[in-house]
Amino acid sequence: MPRLSAKDFHPEVLRLFDQYVHGLIPRRGFLQAASAYAVAGVSAAELLEMLSPRFAEAQRVSAGDTRLVAQKVEIQSPRGSGVLRGVLAQPAPGGWQGKETRAKVLVIHENRGLNPHIEDIARRLALDGFIALAPDALTPLGGYPGDEDRARELFGQLDQNKCLEDFIAAARHLQSLPDGNGKLGAVGFCYGGGIVNTLAERLPDLDAGVAFYGVAPDLAKVADIKAQLQLHFAGDDARVNATWPPYEAALKAAGVRYEAFVYPGVQHGFNNDTTPRFDEAAAKLAWERTIGFFNRTLRG
């Protein structure tokens, strides 16, 4: 079966899927509404299955790749009741020339926890010479459960204020590691993009933040941002894009250094190569811009 793309689905089905993914409608709500667009013997349940991630098919860097070292780590959680688990990926010894170029990047997942796709993103960064840490916000509830539907359900049970403190703790843990050049970046996707925007307000020593289709942070605190920002938006993403104009105005008023890119005609989640919303051309360009940005801001 050829790989599906967003063009293979009715725009309303994609809109409903976006609502479902972000917890705005339940699974049953998606199935009931999408049934009106089920054609040629394809049920609403089959549409949902078609839109769901295919992790194994999209993996680019295996955990056993000898060019890097990837390991499970535990971080002390400020919740006072245990640890935050995550994955740390970095170039293998001798696999990158000079530790002075090895900046650190915090990788923040979507609203499903640390799934295989985000682990793969961390490994991709390692191959570009970065020390990447991807924490799992679902740790207090047992961690990413291996099922996207269950992960979304669990995610809605999290205290987001405590999650933010966990991500801050993860950034501090990453900074405390002995290797690297002292520079810190962060990249996040969807929910994680919004967290990057917020961390930029909360972490005065964050050097660079890249947010993929993330909502705006607290506009009253934008003046606290010291990091340089790179922001990526999908052209067909009304929910997130509605938060951008006031955010951009606040960034300009505060004199924050930023660059923003809109990719016309693509869907929210276009960088996630595990689903049909993936757009290869836009994702390739956005990732090249991301690595180039980190090279300039974290290694320049």
Q: Indicate if the pLDDT at residue 99 is higher than 60.
A: no
Task: Quote the CATH superfamily of domain 64-299.
Answer: Alpha/Beta hydrolase fold, catalytic domain (3.40.50.1820)
> Beta strands 83-91 and 68-76: pairing type?
antiparallel
Region for 13 from its dihedrals, namely left if φ exceeds 0, alpha if ψ lies in -120 to 50, beta otherwise: alpha
The pTM (predicted TM-score) of the whole model is: 0.94
Write down the pLDDT at residue 93. Answer: 82
Nearest to 9, CA basis, from 253, 186, 18, 263: 18
H helices of the chain, in order, are 11-21, 27-34, 44-51, 55-58, 116-127, 148-155, 160-176, 191-202, 238-241, 244-254, 280-299
Write down the pLDDT at residue 23. Answer: 87
pLDDT digits 0-9 by tens, 1-55:
467 899 999 999 999 999 998 889 999 999 999 999 887 778 999 999 999 888 8
pLDDT digits 0-9 by tens, 232-282:
999 999 999 999 999 999 999 999 999 999 999 999 999 999 999 999 999
Write down the pLDDT at residue 102. Answer: 80
pLDDT digits 0-9 by tens, 137-161:
999 999 999 998 899 999 999 999 9
DSSP letter (8 states) at residue 23: T
- Residue 193 contacts residue 215 (beta carbons within 8 Å): yes
Write down the pLDDT at residue 28. Answer: 93
Q: Indicate if the pLDDT at residue 94 is higher than 80.
A: no
Write down the pLDDT at residue 82. Answer: 81
Of 152 and 285, more confident: 285
Of the listed ranges 95-99, 107-111, 126-130, 261-265, the one predicted with least confidence: 95-99
Write down the pLDDT at residue 161. Answer: 93
Write down the pLDDT at residue 95. Answer: 60
Give the confidence band of 101 by pLDDT, cuts at 50, 70, 90. low
> How far apart (Å, rounded) are the C-alpha atoms in residues 280 and 169?
34
- Residue 198 contacts residue 243 (beta carbons within 8 Å): no
pLDDT digits 0-9 by tens, 176-211:
998 888 999 999 999 999 999 999 999 999 999 999
69 C-beta neighbours (distance < 10 Å), count? 17
Q: What is the DSSP string of 149-161?
A: HHHHHHHTTS-HH
Write down the pLDDT at residue 119. Answer: 96
Q: Indicate if the pLDDT at residue 100 is higher than 70.
A: no
223 C-beta neighbours (distance < 10 Å), count? 13
- Residue 131 contacts residue 178 (beta carbons within 8 Å): no
> How far apart (Å, rounded) are the C-alpha atoms in residues 17 and 11?
10
- Residue 272 contacts residue 232 (beta carbons within 8 Å): no
Q: Indicate if the pLDDT at residue 293 is higher than 90.
A: yes
Q: Residue ranges of the domains in the chain?
A: 6-51, 64-299
> How far apart (Å, rounded) are the C-alpha atoms in residues 245 and 249?
6
Nearest to 111, CA basis, from 157, 161, 152, 53: 152
Write down the pLDDT at residue 180. Answer: 85
> How far apart (Å, rounded) are the C-alpha atoms in residues 30 and 129?
41
